[in-house]
Amino acid sequence: ALCICLAFPARALDVYTPAEGDSYEPGDIINVTWDASADMPAGAVVQLSVDAGLNWILMSQGEIIQPADPGWADFNWTIPDTLTGVPSQQCLVRVADYFDFANSAYSGTFTIGGTQGPPPDPTPVTIRLRPMRQFCEPGDTVRFAAAVHNADGQYIAAELGWSVSGGGAIGDKGLFTSDGTEGSFSIGVACISDPTISSSATVDVYGAELLLLSPAGGEVYQVGQTMAIEWAADPAATGPVILEFSPDDGLPWYSITVSGAVSYTSPLWGAYPWEIPAEMQGNPTVSASCKVQVLPYNNPATNAVSPGVFSVIEPVAETVGTEGGTVTLADVASLDVPAGARKPEDEAEEIGIVQTRTSVAPPAGFQLEKTGDVFVFLPHGTEFNDPVTISIPYSGSKDDVKILRRSDEDASVWEVIEDFWFDDANAPGRVFFETTTFSVYAASHEYEKPQTASRPARGSPGFHAREVRVRHIRNAIQISFPLDESHRVVVYRLDGSELVRLNGQGRADYILPCAHWSAGCCLVSIRSVSQEVSTRVMLVR
């Protein structure tokens, strides 16, 4: 007898409802449906985000929905009367494989309405992007989520522009699709209305299930400093990992994670901070032939090792007086202080240079050297009478090199330094620039930024609200906007109380009486499923 066995790949997970553009109110039931044949043998969890995927809450109340359960692929959830972040036009539902969250699917963007005070100030101030680093197999897709906040920390709806430095393409909802090219690439996101409000993350695209990213070789670290050991891994394949250090190119190895293995749920996963000791098991760590390795705890034979050796040296600290001098960090970075630049009251302080890694994302459109190498010049805030010259390393083309600066290691914002130069004859691979104060510096590469637009005037193009005088009405507001039944117009006093409400009227010009309020400044908000615009209007006696 001939037996023919057919093997079919697991079906991709699709979420059918809620659908794009759906709208709900507190107390409504959200019916979440997905492909019942999805391959999730360990079950699924259902989650809700009201801020475009930045934060998630469990809709399934911590329960795992099994394929045999009545709620499988057809789950109902009642929206509570009070829900933080509501109203919101950026809601998402995620159905995730309990065993492997990488196997997740998302609904379309929908709205949860309700009123909880006045609408937030629509002016964007900060943007948060998650995850900051994500593993992706070549040819696969992964999702990033971003949320914009105003000065009060409130989430606000804002149009975003996405970009990637290479390795594939990213859509307008943060979905990165790999083109098969391996490497670490920078993901950028910025507000369309104000491109200075931006953030970035890293996507690691590799075919290997485990790869050590940093240190990669050539770095110079110092005893006593904290270095970051970074790796890319498929957590479902590797499980928890342990880290080890060798001062002699792999013989012997000493344990770094002496307190236990690092799991995928740990905040240290993928970027483990390690303070370099002077010795390990009685042997000095100072060496020019250092390596680290990451090993799956349950299968240490499938380890990943630094591709090159790096150095550990004694701390760099030198005294430079008013006569000037030079401080170097091996052959990696340098500082040249001309005569007279050092202030007499500071000349007794030692000057140091530290090479390290940073978790502070560069602005959208910039990718740091080795996706994170920075140089710290100490003491922080040291000022000079005249400019001093700094050199740090770069790689790749000179055409797109930019220098980024932070005031100190606690600062969260990078500034771009435009003035720098190269000296290929005497210092190939170095970029030079001047400064009069010590900060944190990094060489970066500029790539195509997210598509942006000039900052619009307060309100929105086509939306005009102004005070008008109408017969028999002491105060009124004229709204010029094409209203339809989906629009809701609300006027708020500055104390947050509602002054008057108007539903869509199907006309482009409307006089809104405010006879019960004699004077003052108010906020006019127009909201629909697809947009929200606001402006302030001053009513006078």
Each residue's pLDDT, cut to its tens digit, for the chain (541 residues) gives 333 333 333 345 788 999 888 999 988 999 999 988 877 877 888 999 988 887 888 887 767 888 888 888 899 999 988 888 888 888 999 998 876 666 788 888 899 986 556 667 888 888 888 888 888 889 988 888 888 888 887 778 788 889 999 999 998 778 899 999 998 899 999 988 888 888 888 898 988 889 999 999 999 999 999 999 999 888 878 889 999 999 999 989 999 998 889 988 787 888 899 999 999 999 999 999 999 999 999 998 899 999 999 999 999 989 999 999 999 999 899 999 999 999 999 988 999 999 998 878 888 889 888 878 899 999 988 999 999 999 999 988 898 999 999 988 888 788 999 899 999 999 999 999 999 999 999 999 988 766 543 333 334 445 556 555 544 445 666 666 667 666 777 776 655 566 666 666 665 666 666 655 555 566 677 766 555 666 666 555 4
Compute φ and ψ for 156, nearest 5 degrees: -130, 150
Structure tokens, 367: 């990718």
pLDDT at 9: 35
Which pairing describes strands 133-136 and 198-205: parallel, antiparallel, or unpaired? parallel
Strands (E), 247-315: 254-255, 271-275, 279-280, 283-284, 287-296, 304-305, 310-313
User: CA-to-CA distance for 116 and 534, rounded, in angstroms?
Assistant: 16
Report the C-alpha gap between 158 and 165 in whole angstroms: 23
- Confidence at residue 267, expressed as pLDDT on a 0 to 100 scale: 77
Which CATH fold topology does 15-112 show?
Immunoglobulin-like (2.60.40)
Distance CA 518, CA 101 (A): 56
Predicted confidence at residue 371, as pLDDT, reads 75
Helix (H, G, I), strand (E, B) or coil at 344: helix
Q: How far apart are CA 133 and CA 232, in angstroms?
A: 9
CA gyration radius for the chain? 28
How many whole angstroms separate alpha carbon 432 and alpha carbon 170? 34
The confidence score (pLDDT) of residue 234 equals 82
Please give the pLDDT value at position 465: 61
Burial class for 527, CB neighbours closer than 10 Å (0-12, 13-18, 19+): buried
- Note the pLDDT of residue 2: 32
pLDDT at 265: 74
Residue-wise over 37-66: b if at least 16 C-beta within 10 A, else e? ebebeebbbbbbbbbbbbbbeebbeeeebe
Question: What pLDDT does 459 receive?
Answer: 40
Question: What pLDDT shows up at residue 461?
Answer: 44
pLDDT single digits (tens) 515-526: 555 555 666 777
The CA distance from 203 to 207, in Å, is 13
Residue type at 346 in one-letter notation: D
Q: What is the pLDDT of residue 471?
A: 46
- Domains in the chain: boundaries: 15-112, 126-205, 210-313, 318-446, 464-539
**Is the domain 464-539 a CATH 2.60.40.1220 member?**
yes
Phi, psi of 369 (to 5 degrees): -55, 130
Q: Which two tokens stand for residue 176?
A: 């990165």
Q: Is the pTM of this model over 0.75?
A: no
The span from the CA of 321 to the CA of 46, in Å, is 64
Token digits of residue 56: 């998630």
Question: 3-state class of 238 per DSSP?
Answer: helix
**Buried b / exposed e along 380-419 (16+ C-beta atoms within 10 A):** eebebeeebbbbbbbeeeeeebbbbbbeeeeeeebeebee
CATH number of 126-205: 2.60.40.1080
φ, ψ dihedrals at 238, nearest 5°: -90, -35
The 10s digit of each residue's pLDDT in 173-214 is 788 999 999 988 999 999 888 888 888 888 989 888 899 999
Closest by CA position to 199, among listed 143, 160, 141, 155: 160
Per the CB < 8 A criterion, the answer to whether 278 and 187 are in contact is no
Whether 318-446 and 15-112 are alike in CATH topology: the answer is no
Give all strands (DSSP E) within 358-460, no chain letters. 366-368, 373-378, 383-393, 401-406, 415-417, 421-422, 430-437, 440-446
pLDDT of residue 6: 30
Cα–Cα distance measured from residue 244 to residue 230, given in angstroms and rounded to the nearest whole number: 13
Give the whole-angstrom CA distance, residue 366 versus residue 368: 7
CATH code linked to domain 210-313: 2.60.40.10
Please answer whether residues 214 and 230 qualify as being in contact, where contact means their C-beta atoms are separated by less than 8 angstroms.
Answer: yes
* Residue with token string 């620039």: 433
- The CA-atom distances, in angstroms, between 352 and each of 328, 377, 487 are 9, 6, 60
Predicted local distance difference test score (pLDDT) of residue 104:
81
The amino acid at residue 408 is: D
CA 214/CA 244 separation, integer angstroms: 13
Q: Where are the beta strands (DSSP E) in 423-515?
A: 430-437, 440-446, 464-470, 473-480, 488-493, 498-503, 509-513
CATH topology (fold) of 318-446: Chondroitinase Ac; Chain A, domain 3 (2.60.220)
> Which residues, 6 or more positions from 227, have their beta carbon under 8 angstroms from its beta carbon?
215, 219, 221, 273, 274, 276, 356, 357
